[in-house]
Amino acid sequence: MSDHMLTSAHPELVEGSVKGLRQALPERDGVQLLNHRADFPGLVTANGDPWHYLDTAATAQKPHAVIDAIARAYGRDYATVHRGVYARSADMTRAYEDARRKAAAFIGGREDETVFTRGATEGINLVAHSWGITNLKPGDRIMLSQLEHHSNIVPWQLVAERTGAVIDVAPLTYDGQIDLDVMAAMLTARHKMVALAHVSNVLGSVLDARRAADLAHNVGALLLLDGCQAVPRLAVDIAALDCDFYVYSAHKLYGPTGIGVLWGRAGLLDAMPPWQGGGAMIDRVTFARTTYAPPPQRFEAGTPHIAGAVGLAAAIDYVTGIGVEAIHAHETELVEAAQEALAGINALTVFGPRASAGILSFALEGVHPHDIGTILDEGNVAIRAGHHCAQPLMDHLGVPATARASFGVYNTLDDVDALVRGLDRVRRIFG
């Protein structure tokens, strides 16, 4: 079992409270916990009580700034984009394309390399079915890892079945990192694509993405990074990472559902055929022949998610206004607090590395994660319980599911305290 069980120097903190936790934890220069809870209207129950939302890795709550931007986009500002000759359509087109520029700049990319999708899942599927079907042939190989989300496994399986390509799986280190040393030994000239999570949605482990890119490129392969869990908490610069494709979703970045981003190198996108047909992605249509628009429009068939793009832009403004580095430091402090407070529970196993990016997965001996989640919910604590769309990783860990607490910019030590008190109640109920 590749798990990492934390031990505590402060077992007195386990019994129901993290009071005094700041004094117990090592100080780190320059780190100050943030206080943005008031920006998020969803963090109260129907009775007006505090709701301790610890499921940000699944989807983030939305700040007023994003909600207001979406309301304006659907209200006073609403019009179609790219088609109308009237003023409001032109204004909305500018807002939509401004959102593309922000989405590109947020990860250090160019707008002509930035495709709007329904989410990271669609972005990976787009690459797999457009680039993959065009470029893969029998005997070619695709490298994934043991910790991938299903969205970075199933599209490649579908393409492998159609092309005759073969999938390899890089193992993990003892503490839940992708083992790049072993992956380096596995890679061959037959590998054409390496597709990896930048941050694990279960373990919070952070990939050494630049080394992964170097390893892929050394054998002539491309690197696709799933950045869903990275962009809300890490500063991402695709030039420094040297990847070839990068995907992320708005809803994990405090933005709306139904929209995401695929960034790809211009030369790769230009050589890829469209994978959906319809309006907006064409140059000229006749019954004899159709020619297509250049990227990114080539991959955006149909009327786009206009309000979603505006909401994504507002979310990026919100996050950059706080600072991704500050958010990462804040979440790191909260994860460390939770690790320290829970480590004295002998029956509790924490999976993954100590340096986890905003995510804490654990199991309590003799208690199913669903029971943990149900009991915590009775105390207004919301966590995720299940396989987290990572069943191969669960098999690797030797468990059917885990409980997962994941943090965001709105969480505080009160949320950690509520989690600890809730788990103390779980232990009492199950003896």
- How far from the centroid of its chain's Cα atoms is residue 375's Cα? 27
Per cent of the chain over pLDDT 70 is 93
Report the pLDDT value the prediction gives residue 12, as an integer from 0 to 100: 41
Distance CA 96, CA 40 (A): 24
Q: How far is CA 259 from the centre of its chain?
A: 13
| Res 9: pLDDT | 35
The Cα 203–Cα 426 span in angstroms is 22
Out of 3.40.640.10, 3.50.30.10, 3.40.50.11260, 3.40.630.10, select the CATH number for domain 66-320: 3.40.640.10
Could you give the CA distance from residue 357 to residue 342 in angstroms, rounded to a whole number?
A: 17
Bridge partners for 166 per DSSP: 141
- pLDDT band for position 13 (cuts 50, 70, 90): very low
Residue carrying structure tokens 């949320």: 415
Residues 6 or more apart whose CB falls under 8 angstroms from that of 248 comprise: 107, 120, 123, 227, 228, 230, 231, 260, 261
Q: Is 243 a catalytic residue?
A: no
Provide the pLDDT for residue 344.
83
- Of the pLDDT bands very low, low, confident and very high (cuts 50, 70, 90), residue 84 is confident
Provide CB contacts within 8 A for 395, sequence distance 6+. none
**How high is the pLDDT of residue 24?**
45
Q: The pTM is what?
A: 0.93
pLDDT at 290 > cutoff 80: yes
* Residue-wise pLDDT tens digits, 161-176: 999 999 999 999 999 9
Mean pLDDT value across residues 238-258:
98
CA angle, 57 then 61 then 67, to 5°: 140
C-beta of residue 229 within 8 angstroms of C-beta of residue 199: yes
For the chain, give the number of residues.
431
> Residues 97-114: what's their mean pLDDT?
98
Q: Decide whether 11-61+324-430 matches 66-320 in CATH topology.
A: no
Q: How does residue 83 score in pLDDT terms, banded at 50, 70 and 90?
A: confident
Give the CATH number of domain 11-61+324-430; options: 3.40.50.280, 3.40.718.10, 3.90.1150.10, 3.40.800.20.
3.90.1150.10
Domain residue ranges of the chain, discontinuous segments joined by +: 11-61+324-430, 66-320
Paired tokens of 112 = 């002509």
Of the listed ranges 178-187, 197-206, 336-345, 371-380, the one predicted with least confidence: 336-345
Whole-number pLDDT of residue 25: 44
- 22: pLDDT strictly greater than 80: no
Query: What HEC string does the chain produce?
Result: CCCCCCCCCCHHHCCCCCCCHHHHCCCCCCCCCCCCHHHCCCCECCCCCECEECECCCCCCCCHHHHHHHHHHHCCCCCCCCCCCCHHHHHHHHHHHHHHHHHHHCCCCCHHHEEEECCHHHHHHHHHHHHHHHHCCCCCEEEEECCCCHHHCHHHHHHHHHHCCEEEEECECCCCCECHHHHHHHCCCCEEEEEEECECCCCCCECCHHHHHHHHHHCCCEEEEECCCCCCCCCCCHHHHCCCEEEEECHHHCCCCCCEEEEECHHHHHHCCCCCCCCCCEEEECCCCEEECCCCHHHCCCCCCHHHHHHHHHHHHHHHHHCHHHHHHHHHHHHHHHHHHHCCCCCEEEECCCCCCCEEEEEECCECHHHHHHHHHHCCEECEEECCCCHHHHHHHCCCCEEEEECCCCCCHHHHHHHHHHHHHHHHHHC
| Residue 14: per-residue pLDDT | 45
pLDDT band at 31; cut points 50, 70, 90? low
Do residues 398 and 355 make contact, with C-beta atoms less than 8 angstroms apart? Answer: no
pLDDT at 108 over 60: yes
pLDDT surpasses 50 at 397: yes
Instruction: Specify the residue for token string 């191969």.
Output: 392
Find the catalytic residue in 79, 329, 389, 413: 389
Rounded to an integer, the average pLDDT of 187-211 is 98
